Structure 1
């Protein structure tokens, strides 16, 4: 049974099969023709879609929602809703106000959208909870702190590390409250999803973040549930310090070489999950591309302490047949290998033109992002430019490339960019999976002026 397979894997026991967890967040709405906003606000529609996902995708584990803005909304952030994405944070209550929120604001079961979410969890638990391990996804303490503080937090990390630690520790208490409510509603695995951890050096993580995160994972374990630490972006350098915070599992996206990362997680006996490419394979690939992607992945890895899943929240428009192809490859690898025995993936980037950087009138900032509306790290990298643009618009222009648009995917490959988000200045990769402070960015722009 799938649920037991997840449990065995997170208990670090040997298994005969590899577990499969489709992170089909807003994508489940597509299965029944509902928008992302509808399923993130309407309990009946969300439950209907999750049960359909269980039927179609035969998951061993399944998340109830993938929305990292639930806590931010409760704590006073304004959201911008989208048809095919989770909402994005548009205001930051602590921007310009270096304070810690009152403990009275910590979420309760009556806060924000939690009544709908908790009821959905209980209903799905009753319907399929004996067969499928259910994941409750919460916003990690650092990303939540960034939602509250905005881009100011990146300067705070240099100028006032004590404040950042205090704010992250407050947000960890929010995470603990969320974990308690989700466990009470029947969730088996609490995934602490914190995209921005990949933007922080291991040294800074240990100094400002580790205490809060460790408290969250220790709490989840004390309640008899499993934990997963989900980080987007190039978290290669952060894997070891993440393991030291003592989660049961870690999930990473396609920016991370899973085989190399697994060598680290195996040293700490931590399960690792990932990392089927979201756009190039799941969204735009063929069924054969998806089968080959999964088979190549599992053939490159020891299957102990391993969960196969998409690299992050699946795009809304991911073809249903592609996700079924991934499930087929995980569940029936031998027959799938025969199906794709002679298959080769074809890539053509020939139509992309690269700017003549030496002859531009202004400095050109190019932002290569996964999705500025859905990916928190991408949102804050874009905000770093937008926040200063009124100061630099006479000397610099900027362009945004999104890794869910075919032409932009091709441009990313042609520029030789390996990790997202990345900021280029006049064609040079300057900030790779790191969000610059205001001063760092302005200084770098001025270096490229004619």
Structure 2
């Protein structure tokens, strides 16, 4: 089938500013999850991406120039703060870094944990420096943001995920003590990001309904996430984005209660159901399958699935941003990412009657 790819009439910055004000825009915004997954596209290893300010900036700038997403950003990932606090992290040349050893094996060691100093500990300062440079280079055309792992995920990486999940039942008091330390570390990163003019988002994958019950989310994740979002609101004047991988339908209400402005939905859930339930309260982001559709699918598959998302989400009261349900996988053909962006131009243009799609 032949498609008409409508040319953008606005810069990403113009589009998102108008979008935020409820004004007419030329097309539905689109911001796939990029970051380290596209480092190889621009001639860099994943290892170098995580250890070089120059590489971080180069990947961000070239990602914007190549794909023209409606926002660009990166952060220390889920491993950055745990590593800075003493957890072991393995960096291979071209795969996602992973936690190899928790910072503490027993709560008798909790005294050695201190909230992270983002300017001195680990690699966090690389990301802050690179974000400032990137913002200086791109902010005239596109909004630059950052994200950081939430307190629950950080705590699980400091303690060891299996042990920490057992603690929610068997050692609640110490789990909360560890979460207090984790929360302060996340707040320290939030403050540093806000100091350079950015609004940080939060990612809390280990707190999904795939991992814990909604009851445990309410007790062990929600209050700490709320403190983080409250700080973002205090520093920036508005809420930010929360992404939780996996199934989250049972905790959508809790996620909204945290004070977020944007809810980023994993592809395992239905964005149409989210719109019906909470589209009047938060902007929806999502949720094309990054693996089966974007990486492994054809261009036609990407257009089809993106169109489905647009049909379901385009009229959400608080807005809709087309995106992937999680990170674009490492090794994805860049033409597939361009196809997702083009889907917003084909099916999300203000020239299109959505009822005719």
Structure 2 counterpart of 1:446? none
Name the CA distance, whole Å, in 2 between partners of 1:334 and 1:301. 10
* Partner of residue 262 from structure 2, selected from 224, 239, 249: 249
Distance 1:297 1:152, change over 3 A: same
Whether contact under 8 Å (1:20, 1:307) holds in the other structure is yes
Secondary structure in 2 matching 1:90: strand
Matched, 1:320 2:329: no
* Partner of residue 142 from structure 2, selected from 117, 124, 132: 132
* Partner of residue 301 from structure 2, selected from 273, 284, 289: 289
Structure 1 counterpart of 2:191? 180
Structure 1 counterpart of 2:85? 75
Distance 1:79 1:35, change over 3 A: same
Name the CA distance, whole Å, in 1 between partners of 2:15 and 2:120. 34
Name the CA distance, whole Å, in 2 between partners of 1:318 and 1:105. 36
CA drift of 1:294 comes to 0.8
Deviates more, 1:49-58 or 1:156-165: 156-165
Name the CA distance, whole Å, in 1 between partners of 2:108 and 2:295. 41
Structure 2 counterpart of 1:61? 71
Name the CA distance, whole Å, in 2 between partners of 1:162 and 1:281. 43
Structure 2 counterpart of 1:218? 230
Matched, 1:169 2:180: yes
Structure 2 counterpart of 1:209? 221
Count of residue pairs the alignment pairs up:
334
Whether contact under 8 Å (1:23, 1:312) holds in the other structure is yes
Whether contact under 8 Å (1:40, 1:65) holds in the other structure is no
Whether contact under 8 Å (1:26, 1:85) holds in the other structure is no
Distance 1:29 1:235, change over 3 A: same
Matched, 1:329 2:343: yes
* Structure-1-length-normalised TM-score: 0.70
| Matched ranges for 1:321-360 at <5 A | 321-333=335-347
Whether contact under 8 Å (2:239, 2:259) holds in the other structure is no
Whether contact under 8 Å (1:18, 1:308) holds in the other structure is yes
Distance 1:66 1:110, change over 3 A: closer
Name the CA distance, whole Å, in 1 between partners of 2:348 and 2:279. 26
| Matched ranges for 1:399-410 at <5 A | none
Name the CA distance, whole Å, in 2 between partners of 1:125 and 1:271. 24
CA drift of 1:262 comes to 2.2
Whether contact under 8 Å (1:67, 1:86) holds in the other structure is no
Name the CA distance, whole Å, in 2 between partners of 1:60 and 1:51. 13
Secondary structure in 2 matching 1:167: helix
Whether contact under 8 Å (1:29, 1:49) holds in the other structure is yes
Distance 1:71 1:101, change over 3 A: farther
Deviations 1:62-116 (A, max 9, x none): 1224621000110000111123333100111222225645674422312211222
| Matched ranges for 1:185-204 at <5 A | 185-187=196-198, 189-198=199-208, 199-204=211-216
Secondary structure in 2 matching 1:332: helix
Deviations 1:183-224 (A, max 9, x none): 22332x311111011122222222222221111001001111
CA drift of 1:117 comes to 1.1
Structure 2 counterpart of 1:382? none
Distance 1:118 1:84, change over 3 A: same
Whether contact under 8 Å (2:85, 2:114) holds in the other structure is no
Deviations 1:15-48 (A, max 9, x none): 5332211211212312212111111111112211
Name the CA distance, whole Å, in 2 between partners of 1:264 and 1:334. 22
Provide the alpha-carbon RMSD of the alignment.
2.2
Give the structure, 1 or 2, with the largest relative contact order (CA under 8 Å, sep 6 or more): 2
Matched, 1:117 2:130: no
* Partner of residue 310 from structure 1, selected from 314, 321, 324: 324
Distance 1:14 1:290, change over 3 A: same
Whether contact under 8 Å (1:137, 1:191) holds in the other structure is yes
CA drift of 1:319 comes to 0.7
Whether contact under 8 Å (1:100, 1:170) holds in the other structure is no
Whether contact under 8 Å (2:76, 2:124) holds in the other structure is no
Secondary structure in 1 matching 2:38: helix
